[in-house]
Structure 1
Amino acid sequence: MSQTTSAPPTAGAAPAPTTGPSTTPHAGTERPGPSEVRGGSRVVILGGGPGGYEGALVAAQLGARVTLIERHGPGGSAVLTDVVPSKTLIATAEWLTVTDSAHELGIRSDEVPESGIGDLYADLGVVNARVRELAARQSDDIRGRLVREGVEIVDGTGALGGVLSAGGTRRVTATLADGTVRELEAEMVLVATGATPRVLPTAEPDGERILTWAQMYALDELPEHLVVVGSGVTGAEFASAYNSLGARVTLVSSRHRVLPGEDADAAGLIEDVFRRRGMTVLSRSRAAAVRRVGDGVEVELTDGRVVEGSHCLVAVGGVPATDGIGLEEAGVERTGSGHVVVDRVSRTRAFRVYAAGDCTGVLPLASVAAMQGRIAMWHALGDAVQPLDLSIVSANIFTAPEIATIGATAEDCASGSVDGAISMLPLARNPRAKMLGIADGFVKMISDRATGTVLGGVVVAPRASELILPITLAVTHRLTVDQVANAFTIYPSLSGSITEAARTLHVAGSES
């Protein structure tokens, strides 16, 4: 699951309600009382990603006997092949982008004095070895935490049974790596099986030249020419990273611009940066097929053009890992795309079966998966719970610069669904940005035109993932622009642009 993750679900993704008060429970899944489930309730969790392990920790805290079934290792794909590895790779690439302004800042190299510190380069074998080692360490840390909290970890693949006992329990089978089958009995089940990279029949990955995002960390040498098919979050992040690492990159985008689901100003800026750094962006171009040709690849486009490269990353989304685990037999409803249908407290339509994370299609972010898992167990075990509210979820795209977003969008204002006022300030006028040599980026804030309440925002900047927090707090706690503006910020600081944007949205005569 990716903080790489991607845009909210389109038609075909799980149509779970995500705003407003809690709705009527699903038939047969009324909320149990604490006396009914606590004191050693048996909880079985399928999948050890953020939704699974966070749910396991909550269930253990509430006194349940928890068994977590995971075939790859605690943390799941988010830790081992997705979020943690990709962001570790990007951290190295980000370090190299800092050198972009070295010459302007007066930093010189004896070897190449006219180009700043251009003699630095990334050793991809070392980089990816570190990526894999850090992911494994993170998985081990999660395993240790789960074990300390009393969670039993079963290394295998889980499947639901379709028959309920007279007491409302159901059988869950765990198939171990050696083929051994173990049967478990559970009062509560949490399905958190995640998603896998989508594979196109005309672009079968071979793990060497044609790759999914999960296979990128086996590369020992920097691709001479990486062709990235797909300009969503994953494609844009990898294209940005490999461009910064020094590879020649061609990005194939089927839409009119990269990151089509994101703020238009932010996406336009990122595409401009990509092109300025030497990346080839093929807009309105769709890949028809990817072929291995000797030591390279050919990417055939639907208009007949062929793009030759040394490697191709196919980043065209993910598919929920929900087949073959007994969901139909258990009465769990799925959409046509295979996503598990859940409500805002993570319930499925099957008795005492919950689901969390990318397998639900609600919003493919690690933070959302973790919250879904916590909410599921709070609700299942009778604790206080607030239904999931996607309007206060912040998200980040780890390109260079990063794009962070929260709440209402400029598109909401343009469509009339939000009566919002917008302030947008370029970072180039911020004194701290000037000192750091930051030329690309902006802060955008959206407020209610009548009351001044902060409704949303966008930050495009290095480490935008950190800078979005003040706006997230404002949206979450319904602060007004005057309240944000009256907070002291350090001078000089990048966060000063946030309070400045708030000041420009002051509603005359309003009271803080």
Structure 2
Amino acid sequence: MPDRTVDKVVIIGGGPGGYESALVASQLGAEVTVVDTDGLGGSAVITDCVPSKTLIATSELMTEVAGAAELGVNFHDVEGDAATTLSVDLARVNTRVKALAAEQSVDIGRRLDRENVTVVRGRGRLDGPERVVVTGPDGSEQTLEAGAVLIATGASPRTLPSAQPDGERILTWEQVYDLTEVPTELIVVGSGVTGAEFASAYLALGIPVTLVSSRDRVLPGEDADASAVLEEVSKRRGMKVLSRSRMESVTRDGDVVTVTLTDGRSVQGSHCILALGSVPNTTDLGLEDAGVRLKDGGFVGVDRVSRTTARGVYAAGDCTGVLMLASVAAMQGRIAMYHFLG
């Protein structure tokens, strides 16, 4: 009898690289299983793109409302006096943000179900190039055979031994949506895209923000002119930008968070967001034992059709370090399935 495992695809990770490739593989006739740990949609839907863009949209609305009086639009309180103060209810904002993300995750699950994709909850790891062992939430294990395995495990916020998040006042960009109190002084460490986004959003929500940048400008990897405009506008709106200021440690004493810099200076605030980049989720997946070559930093090496160095093993998304965008992850996954299924 023919080996039917050649028509089976197992995808480890339910983010854009995973669920988009699952849809393509199913539509091309494969039997597809997605092993998902943190929720369908991955960080893009649960803790990154969808939540952050919703937060930014909320902050932009607050900025527009603040400037309404210049356009002749006035607000009044119940006594009829003109309202002059805006404030944000961060608990309500974050409740809505998380609800929208959860709804989109559920929608993705419904779509996968309609396309006959099986979703298994648990953590998957390779047991050789064509076998995935899944450890369920209850500790039980099951083995899935496949003609092809796609690694789409994404990445997680980078932390340092001297700057450990506590989930309350020292936060990664995944933890900010659990905030229920409004920071009285927010420190953002890191001036890349993530740090600049959060610093700008919280500033627009009326929260004092200090941005700590180890480089000579905000968004060091982007266009220099655009970076200069963003920094100038941010400062004009009240943001404190500390350029060429490398963080040495972040500590907490009660309600006070202290960011100590390598030059001996320190900055204090009520909360701190660590935006120090990302690290790939590639540890304890059995990759190297299965013949998958890892690059510097633990990223999975892939070729132009998303193949790894192990037969039948592909990879897509942030775990490859190609370009950390949801659209890139999705296309890498689609290309992998197009290649495997001819």
TM-score computed with the length of structure 2 as normaliser: 0.95
Do the aligned residues in 2 keep the contact of 1:38 with 1:381 (CA within 8 Å)?
A: no
Equivalent in the alignment of 2:186: 226
Distance 1:368 1:109 in 2: 44
Distance 1:38 1:271 in 2: 57
Distance 1:117 1:199 in 2: 42
Pairing of 1:193-232 with structure 2 (within 5 A) = 193-232=153-192
Equivalent residue for 1:102, pick from 65, 68, 76: 68
Distance 2:68 2:42 in 1: 39
Per-residue displacement from partner, 1:339-388 (whole Å, max 9, x unpaired)? 00111111111101110000000000011111111111111110xxxxxx
Q: Does 1:79 align with 2:48?
A: no
Q: Does 1:305 align with 2:271?
A: no
Q: CA deviation at 1:230?
A: 0.1
Do the aligned residues in 1 keep the contact of 2:194 with 2:275 (CA within 8 Å)?
A: yes
Secondary structure class of the residue paired with 2:39: coil
Letter of the 2:31 partner, please give it: R
Distance 1:108 1:141 in 2: 39
Q: CA deviation at 1:94?
A: 1.2
Equivalent in the alignment of 2:222: 262
Pairing of 1:231-380 with structure 2 (within 5 A) = 231-380=191-340
> Per the alignment, do residues 273 and 117 of structure 1 end up closer, same or farther by CA in structure 2, a change over 3 Å counting?
farther
Equivalent in the alignment of 1:133: 99
Letter of the 1:265 partner, please give it: D
Do the aligned residues in 2 keep the contact of 1:107 with 1:117 (CA within 8 Å)?
A: no
Letter of the 2:183 partner, please give it: P
Q: CA deviation at 1:100?
A: 4.7
Equivalent residue for 2:59, pick from 93, 106, 111: 93
Letter of the 1:145 partner, please give it: R
Letter of the 1:189 partner, please give it: V
Per-residue displacement from partner, 1:55-76 (whole Å, max 9, x unpaired)? 0000000010000001111111
Letter of the 1:302 partner, please give it: T
Distance 1:374 1:77 in 2: 19
Per-residue displacement from partner, 1:370-407 (whole Å, max 9, x unpaired)? 1111111111110xxxxxxxxxxxxxxxxxxxxxxxxx
Equivalent in the alignment of 1:177: 137
Distance 1:100 1:246 in 2: 10
Distance 2:75 2:110 in 1: 45
Distance 1:42 1:211 in 2: 40
> Which ranges of structure 1 fall in alignment gaps of 5 or more residues?
1-35, 165-169, 383-512
Do the aligned residues in 1 keep the contact of 2:307 with 2:314 (CA within 8 Å)?
A: yes
TM-score computed with the length of structure 1 as normaliser: 0.64
Per-residue displacement from partner, 1:438-494 (whole Å, max 9, x unpaired)? xxxxxxxxxxxxxxxxxxxxxxxxxxxxxxxxxxxxxxxxxxxxxxxxxxxxxxxxx
Letter of the 1:93 partner, please give it: S
Distance 1:103 1:135 in 2: 33
Distance 2:113 2:21 in 1: 14
Do the aligned residues in 2 keep the contact of 1:37 with 1:381 (CA within 8 Å)?
A: no
Letter of the 1:240 partner, please give it: S
Distance 1:45 1:63 in 2: 15
Secondary structure class of the residue paired with 1:238: helix
Letter of the 2:282 partner, please give it: T
- 4+ residue stretches of structure 1 with deviation over 3 A? 36-40
Q: CA deviation at 1:129?
A: 0.4
Do the aligned residues in 1 keep the contact of 2:307 with 2:313 (CA within 8 Å)?
A: yes
Q: CA deviation at 1:309?
A: 0.3
Letter of the 2:233 partner, please give it: V
Do the aligned residues in 2 keep the contact of 1:102 with 1:117 (CA within 8 Å)?
A: no
Secondary structure class of the residue paired with 2:164: coil
Q: CA deviation at 1:103?
A: 3.2
Q: CA deviation at 1:82?
A: 1.1
> Per the alignment, do residues 349 and 37 of structure 1 end up closer, same or farther by CA in structure 2, a change over 3 Å counting?
farther
Aligned length: 337
Equivalent residue for 2:85, pick from 119, 124, 138: 119
Distance 1:117 1:281 in 2: 31
Do the aligned residues in 2 keep the contact of 1:39 with 1:63 (CA within 8 Å)?
A: no
Secondary structure class of the residue paired with 2:175: helix
Q: CA deviation at 1:40?
A: 7.4
Letter of the 1:175 partner, please give it: T
Equivalent in the alignment of 1:157: 123
Q: CA deviation at 1:150?
A: 0.3
Distance 1:107 1:249 in 2: 28
% identity of equivalent residues: 63
Letter of the 1:75 partner, please give it: G
Q: Which has the higher relative contact order, 1 or 2, with Cα contacts under 8 A spaced 6 or more apart?
A: 2
Equivalent residue for 1:50, pick from 13, 16, 37: 16
Q: CA deviation at 1:118?
A: 4.5
Q: CA deviation at 1:139?
A: 0.5
> Which ranges of structure 2 fall in alignment gaps of 5 or more residues?
none
